Structure 1
Amino acid sequence: MLLRFLILFLSLQFSASIDTITPNNPLNEGDVLTSKAGKFTLGFFSPGNSTTRYVGIWFTKVSVQTVVWVANRNNPINDFHGILSINRNGHLTLTSQNTPIWSSNISDSVTRNSSSMSCQLLDSGNLVLTTDNGKSLLWQSFDHMTNTFLPGMKLGLDKKSGLNRYITSWRSKDDPSPGNFSFRVDPNGSPQFFLYQGSNPVWRTGPWVGQKWSGVPDMTRAYIFNYSFISDMNEVSVTYTVLNDNIITIFLVDGVSGTVQRRTWHENSKSWVQFWSAPKDDCDQYGECGPFGSCNPNSGNQFHCSCFPGYSFSLCLFVCLLIVRNNLY
């Protein structure tokens, strides 16, 4: 009896430490990968009230399942026969009953030996596909974000490869396919990041001014994050780390409210607490009062737009009313 218990205990310990897919060891429906220190889990899930299946990554120690990356967000599985594997051509692939669902889509011009390949879930939440026993990186989930910007991710444009890393809202809580809101860089002029609804700008960060974005006054020196911004001939990007490793936090695009949000997990209340979002009010909206007007959310009037000195009142009023009309309809 004792021997059987020890065998069961050791097998559970071993299975809990598995963080890697190999050509001979795929991930089947019902199985999970758990990163080495247990921070993230990868597996099959159904969002909200949906019955369709996706492969995603979520926080292991957060009791409210919070998915931060989805592989097949455009192609759900309609059964429980999904398999995530490395095929003989060295691609990370998701299939169901031999039907292709999703692939990592690595260039076939890359020379690789599939027998030396592996796919590992890291404690950063990054899923990496490597060859030569981990020496060469072929693909990583951090280059293909969904709705969440995690610490260690790089958000922005790689000018050499043309890779544009940005986040896009879920369509709904039941559907992780791309929604109508995205957060991405505009590399022109003084680079800054924009929240878009479709192709229309909703809010902007303003240019980087040394330690923060000019349009985000909340980013004070006492901030709990360390941000790094790069703008040169090779890339325009931002990344960040959390100064306290015990803090679990996410930055995401929320498709319900149409905002970008910073949330932190509070273990005592077992809930995510939002402590920052944008836009906050009408005056945060991009171009709310047009090119000739200024916005005052505390004006106490029905219209919070006014004209800059020296501009035609009639022209300014016409532009403001036109913007209000477009916002209403």
Structure 2
Amino acid sequence: MLLHASDDRLTPGEFISRNETLVSDGGAFALGFFSPTNSTTDFYVGMWYNDIPEKSVIWVANREKSITDSSATLRISDDSNLVVVDAKGGLLWSSNLSGLGAPGSDAAAVLLDSGNLVLRADSNIILWQSFDHPTDTMLPGMKIQYNCSSHSAIYITSWKDADDPSPGDYSLGVDPSTCFQYLIWWKSKPYWRSQVWTGNFYYGDRCKTPNSVGYITVIKDEDMMSVTLTVSDRSPHIRYTMNYSGQIELLSWDHGSKHWRTWSLPNGECERYGWCGGFAYCDTTRLVPECRCLEGFEPKVESEWESGKNSAGCIRKKALRCGDDGDEFVRVEGMKLPDNFVFLRNTNFSGCRSQCLANCSCTAYAYSELPVGNATISRCLVWMGELIDTNMVSRAGEDLYLRLMDPSLGMI
């Protein structure tokens, strides 16, 4: 049984084919078959904004493989899965509930005005939802997250290119090794890294219009770190997308110009992961960001540094002595803290400093007291060996205490 074009749900016995769509109750989103290249032979089941003239696809069900059967349909199977089948009933895609559904249950797939496609049983039991299976886009109310105990994760992954929604080379997610930051990966290698978590904070450029604001919020508890898109009331459509060129984009629909306004990062090579090399930082406070050595350090290969090749990084001007009469720490302000830190629990500022000073391999530390709900927790981070991927930032920077033999070489 075909659906009427205005229906927002699919129930057992109903289906949608190539020329049919589900439309959310408020008209914000549509779900149906589409082709990125307007092909007549390759199709995908996806979701897009229904109330703007530009077709912007924000979710794809079968991104791994296109559908070539023009008579394919989307329906609910006998075991309460959401499926795409061909004319002979052959399975092309499934929500793959693995037995969580129940034959004969009162199942329905409902497209909500939030952009979430929810498969429900008995009216209110959620069996599956698209927000838990994103493609390249995060919408308000959706989460990118990592469970530090169960190691379950939700990532977003770019399209392969503008015409191919299959998984591309870039992914955005929470760092599973720390649960304190999130990263862009190029394939399996870090490509960009956020600032280290400092409590319930927002990160990145806000997309701000006269009537709305949207920004990224990072929330962490003992077992979970989540990245969400927060928007003000009555905001236009706002989305957070991992694009196929390696940038995360915060996009806001401008009803006046009828185009997307875009804020993106990383902005230039200097902000990419580890671009400046060890013991160096990208100074993003400058009009044109550039690599600089940390105080007390100098370029490892001066000729390469002067020509803009910074990957070799910097080396100490004076070696550490390590001992009772040896080293001190100097404070470097306004920094995105380096990667590869060790988190030390249950210590105060002096304890954090002492533990770093007692270890000759410790090159820096940072200490903060962070608000978590109504409580405050201490966060001591220490670094062993080379400091990599740090920036000087104009907003939400932290103090990094850098170990030097002679503190007069550093910034006090």
Q: Same fold (TM over 0.5)?
A: yes
Shift of 1:209: 2.9
CA contact (8 A) 1:205 1:213 kept: no
Distance 2:111 2:286 in 1: 52
Give the distance between the partners of 1:235 and 1:92, measured in 2 at CA.
Answer: 29
Q: Which amino acid aligns with 1:112?
A: A
Give the aligned residue type for 1:59: Y
Name the CA shift for 1:310/1:79 in 2 (closer, same or farther; >3 Å). Answer: same
> Do the aligned partners of residues 45 and 283 (structure 1) sit closer, same or farther apart at CA in structure 2, a change above 3 Å counting?
same
CA contact (8 A) 1:206 1:213 kept: no
**What is the CA deviation profile of residues 59-96 of structure 1, one whole-angstrom value per residue up to 9, with x for unaligned ones?**
01111100100000111111311111111112111112
Structure 2 segments unaligned to the other structure (5+ residues): 313-412
Alignment of 1:1-329 (within 5 A): 15-51=4-40, 52-97=42-87, 98-108=89-99, 110=100, 112-132=102-122, 134-159=123-148, 162-189=151-178, 191-210=180-199, 212-213=201-202, 216=204, 224-225=213-214, 228-255=217-244, 257-274=245-262, 276-296=263-283, 304-311=290-297, 313-314=299-300, 321=309, 323=311
Residue identity in the other structure for 1:271: H
| TM-score, reference length from structure 1 | 0.82
Contact 2:207 2:213 in 1 (8 A): no
Q: Once the two structures are superposed, what CA deviation does each residue of 1:122-157 show, in whole Å capped at 9, x if it has no partner?
A: 11110111111x221110000000010100101111
> How far, CA to CA, are the matches of 1:65 and 1:295 in structure 2?
37
RMSD of equivalent CA atoms: 3.0
**Partner secondary structure for residue 142 of structure 1:** helix
8 Å CA contact 1:212–1:219 kept in 2: the answer is: no
In structure 2, distance between residues paired with 1:182 and 1:312? 34
Aligned with 1:116: secondary structure?
coil
- Determine the C-alpha separation between the residues in 2 that align with 1:312 and 1:230: 37
Offset at 1:261?
A: 0.6
Per the alignment, in what secondary structure is the counterpart of residue 142 of structure 2?
Answer: coil
What is the SS of the residue equivalent to 1:114? Answer: coil
Is the Cα contact below 8 Å between 1:118 and 1:129 reproduced in 2?
Answer: yes
**CA offsets per residue over residues 214-253 of structure 1, 9 Å max, x none?**
6x36599x98136553322332112233213241111101
Q: Hey, what's the Cα distance between the residues in 2 that align with 1:291 and 1:113? A: 59
CA distance 1:148–1:200, change in 2 (3 Å): same
Q: Is the 8 A contact 2:184 2:191 kept in 1?
A: yes
Q: Which amino acid aligns with 2:250?
A: R
Q: Is contact 1:226–1:243 with CA below 8 Å preserved after alignment?
A: no
1:7 aligned residue:
none
Residues 191 and 115 of structure 1: is their aligned pair in 2 closer, same or farther, counting only changes over 3 Å?
same
CA spacing shift, 1:111–1:199, aligned 2, 3 Å: closer
Question: Percent identity, aligned pairs only?
Answer: 37
Across the two proteins, how many residue pairs are aligned to each other?
A: 305
Displacement of 1:269 in angstroms is 1.9
Q: Report what 2:377 is aligned to.
A: none
Secondary structure at the aligned position of 1:93 is classed as strand
SS across alignment from 2:300: helix
Structure 1 residues 81 and 194 mapped into 2: Cα distance closer, same or farther (>3 Å)?
same
Other structure's SS at 2:241 match: strand
AA at the equivalent of 1:192:
Q
State the shift of 1:281 in Å: 1.8
Residue identity matched to 1:309: E
Judge conservation of contact 1:20–1:120 (CA < 8 Å) in 2: yes
SS at 2:131 equivalent: helix
Q: How many angstroms apart in 2 are the aligned matches of 1:227 and 1:169? A: 18
Counterpart contact for 1:213–1:219, Cα < 8 Å: no
d(CA) in 2 for partners of 1:106, 1:168 = 22
In the TM superposition, residue 185 of structure 1 has moved relative to its aligned partner by 0.6
What's the CA shift for 1:48?
3.0
Amino acid in the other structure paired with 2:274? G
CA 1:322 to 1:139, structure 2 compared with 1: closer, same or farther past 3 Å?
same
Other-structure match for 1:9: none
1:217–1:15 Cα change, 3 Å: closer
**TM-score, length of structure 2 as denominator length:** 0.67
1:189, distance to aligned residue in structure 2 (A): 3.5
The 1:61–1:82 alpha-carbon spacing in structure 2 relative to 1, beyond 3 Å, is same
> 1:307 Cα shift?
2.7
- Answer 1 or 2: which has greater helix percent: 1
Gap runs ≥5 in structure 1: 1-13, 325-329
Structure 1 pair 82–144 and aligned structure 2 pair: CA distance change class (3 A): same
**Secondary structure of the equivalent of 2:26?**
coil
Per the alignment, in what secondary structure is the counterpart of residue 283 of structure 1? helix
Separation in 1, partners of 2:143, 2:287? 41
